[in-house]
Amino acid sequence: MLLAIDTSTTAIGAAVHDGSEVLAVVVHEDARRHGELLAPAVAAVLGQAGVAREDLDEIVCGVGPGPFTGLRVGVVTALVLAHSLGLPAPAGICSLDALAHEVAHDPSHQRPERLLVATDARRKEVYWAVYELGPAGAHRVDGPAVARAADLPPDVRSLPVVGRGSELYPDALTNPIPGGPRDVDPGMLARLAVDLRAGGHPDFGTALLDPEPLYLRRPDAVAAPGTAMATTRPAAAP
């Protein structure tokens, strides 16, 4: 019994997978309230799946890349939850892989050969990766990385694209897949984890990561000039 958690995009949520199918998914769309919404979502998804917390065998979490503050909520939740249940440390999965996996396995999409996944990285940039799609799944061939959408090479920018990047930068990312996924579906993350465990997936052996955020940016570069550091300890915390 597997619990999957992702907070790397605007969708904050969790899913339960019993090894053969997804039993329940709970997702809230709110880019600012990860800390408030995730724990209730985890409690709710267990309830909806009819699974006691002691029945969980494994936890996986999306490790981004994604906006840091929200991303950390998901990763620390997975880490501490696993520890409190006496489970092994959770496996991390690049969250962009879940979006590619969704395209690779959605029968309603015409499956492109190559796919760009681009999500909101804030600061006028996108998190992106390129995949080759085949019957066995999505194989990551470039990324994850962070860049301005307009600075991506032309042959990357013109690829069929999913994720919110193309909504934010329609002039640079011109080939969105109609109806394609915008945010990470934790149910799809769970399916990907199960597929990766089973073997046969093209990224079997490389896609399961340590449960650490894929930051891709150094902390020094995060805050705006002048606010990069408090000159002393911050005003609010004694």
Q: Which of 160, 165, 157 is nearest to 178 (CA)?
A: 160
Q: Which of 89, 62, 84, 66 is nearest to 75 (CA)?
A: 62
Q: Is 48 a binder of another protein (CB under 8 A)?
A: no
CB of 39: closest distance to another protein in angstroms? 4
Q: Which of 1, 31, 39, 147 is the binder for another protein (CB under 8 A)?
A: 39
CB of 70: closest distance to another protein in angstroms? 9
C-alpha radius of gyration, the chain, whole number: 18
CB of 173: closest distance to another protein in angstroms? 28
Q: Which of 29, 43, 134, 167 is the binder for another protein (CB under 8 A)?
A: 43
CA pair distance 188, 99, nearest whole angstrom? 8
**221 vs 235, beta carbon nearer Zn ion:** 235
Q: Is 34 a binder of another protein (CB under 8 A)?
A: yes
By CB under 8 A, how many residues form the interface with another protein?
Answer: 45
E strand or H helix at 22, and its extent? strand 22-29
CA distances from 92 to 89, 112, 196 (A): 9, 26, 12
Q: Among the candidate windows 104-112, 131-139, 168-176, 225-233, which touches another protein by CB under 8 A? A: 225-233
CB of 6: closest distance to another protein in angstroms? 14
CA pair distance 173, 110, nearest whole angstrom? 19
Q: What is the largest CA-CA distance in the chain?
A: 57
CA pair distance 65, 216, nearest whole angstrom? 7
Q: Is 228 a binder of another protein (CB under 8 A)?
A: yes
CB of 50: closest distance to another protein in angstroms? 16
CA atoms within 13 A on the CB side of 149: 27
Q: Find tokens 């501490």 and name the residue.
A: 80
CA distances from 183 to 12, 23, 37, 155, 200 (A): 9, 20, 16, 23, 25
**204 vs 215, beta carbon nearer another protein:** 215
CB of 233: closest distance to Zn ion in angstroms? 9
**Pattern of binders to Zn ion over 199-238, x per CB under 5 A?**
---------------------------------------x
Q: Find tokens 């998804």 and name the residue.
A: 45
Binding site for Zn ion (CB under 5 A): 238
Binding site for another protein (CB under 8 A): 33-40, 42-43, 53, 68-69, 72-73, 75-81, 83-86, 89, 212-213, 215, 219-220, 222-223, 228-238
